[in-house]
Amino acid sequence: MRVTLVIIGAALLWAAAGDGLPARGPGPQEQGPGPQGQGPGPETRGQAIPGLIDAAAGRCGAGWTTAPAGRQTLMLRNGGSAVAEVTLIDAGSGAVHAEIEGLAPGTVRPMRVRLGAGVYALRCAEHGAGDPVTSPAVRITGPGRGGLAVVPVGENDLYGPARSYQRYVAAGLDRLVARTGELRGAVRTGNRGAAKDAWTPAHLAYARLGAAYGAFGDLDDAINGLPDGLPGGVRDTGFTGFHRLEQGLWNGAEMSALAPVADRLARDVRALRAGFAGERVDPADLPLRAHEILEDTLRCQLTGAADQGSGTELRTAAAHLEGTRAVIGVLRPVLRPRFPGLGEVDRWMDRLEALLKGRSSLARLSREERERLNGTTGRLVELLASVATIAQPRRTR
């Protein structure tokens, strides 16, 4: 089982300064005391082991008493029988310094943190079940410097942003229905040039709604699916929607054969709008979607994997960036007091926008331009991963 170790605040954002741990599982140098780093076996569960701090909900924080301020490593052991989540918090404010998710029973993992003088506690929970348990408070003393911590986000904090984003998507769906209707009309006239001209704005209207894809269900594949993995490839009857039209328009398919494809796309888009009126954007999804939109751009648009002939990958990437800005915009009241790197996110979004402005086809970029574009997008994706972590709703009681 993979263990995810997340350092909040300075350690996450300023890892280059040496304040944090990797966001993924530990390397060989961080193995626990048991065979192959798996920690003590089941026969030691429920027993205190010198030097280890229990992360099981029933014994949360057992073994942690006090320590001098500064850098330190807490060796956390799950002595229970269920997968554990453990969070290091400020005992007064509840601000989060670090957390480990997915700590399997009987395993030991290190949590390296930098703590200033103050009072701290551990919060332990069984994965996906029950309320967390808070350990007895531990007082840290001495002159050592502490790192930043982040006040946890609750689902209530995200309801306002989710409602704002819901309105953004609803307006975007209205535009999508209109643009798709124009595309259908152009295809039905048999005018390939007009249909190509109408395809791009219609597809970009959909691309701007990336953070809502999780609420679209199977219609997302019907509207924007790719032929990858389909038995018949581009000829498979399951290949529909925008990319099926793109493949046909730019590769010489008979316009009469594309008319039913355009008809179905228009129906699916109208059904999407009608269905979305009764749906809601899950508030807990928004922070993660802020990161995933451009992660998908890196994988699909900036490799050329999504292109079916139109050469509009970079325009789609720009639409994805616009969608990402919309998510960051609604999350800004939540992020501003918690995320010192928010200004850096804005600056890197501006850099990416400048690189994409006026561009359409990936094939027209030089190698140096592609490297710069990939590097800029990759850096922005890294920063947006911090947004996903910091704004993730957490159980606090």
Q: What is the CATH number of the domain that holds 54?
A: 2.60.40.420
Closest by Cα among 81, 160, 148 to 114: 148
Same domain as 303, residue 207: yes
Same domain as 215, residue 107: no
Q: Which residue has the higher pLDDT, 34 or 372?
A: 372
Q: How many domains does the chain have?
A: 2
Q: How many CB atoms lie within 10 A of CB 270?
A: 15
Confidence band for 49, pLDDT divided at 50, 70 and 90: low
Q: How open is the CA angle 364-366-372, to the nearest 5 degrees?
A: 115
DSSP letters, 261-275, are: HHHHHHHHHHHHHHH
Looking at the domain assignment, is residue 149 inside a domain? no
Same domain as 238, residue 179: yes
pLDDT in the model for residue 394 = 80
Same domain as 192, residue 91: no
% of the chain with per-residue pLDDT over 90:
72
Q: CA–CA separation, 94 vs 337, rounded Å? A: 15
pTM over 0.85: no
Check whether 35 has a pLDDT greater than 70: no
Confidence band for 396, pLDDT divided at 50, 70 and 90: low
Confidence band for 337, pLDDT divided at 50, 70 and 90: very high
Same domain as 180, residue 107: no
Q: CA–CA separation, 224 vs 245, rounded Å? A: 10
Same domain as 352, residue 204: yes
Looking at the domain assignment, is residue 397 inside a domain? no
pLDDT in tens, 162-219: 999 999 999 999 999 999 999 999 999 999 999 999 999 999 999 999 877 777 888 9
pLDDT in the model for residue 14 = 28
Q: What is the CATH number of the domain that holds 201?
A: 1.20.1420.20
Provide the residue range defining the domain that includes 271: 155-390
CA dist 167 → 202, 285, 387 (Å)? 19, 16, 22
Same domain as 178, residue 33: no
pLDDT in the model for residue 13 = 32
141, 163, 180 - which closes a domain: 141
Same domain as 56, residue 9: yes
pLDDT in the model for residue 217 = 81
Average pLDDT rounded to a whole number, residues 62-68: 90
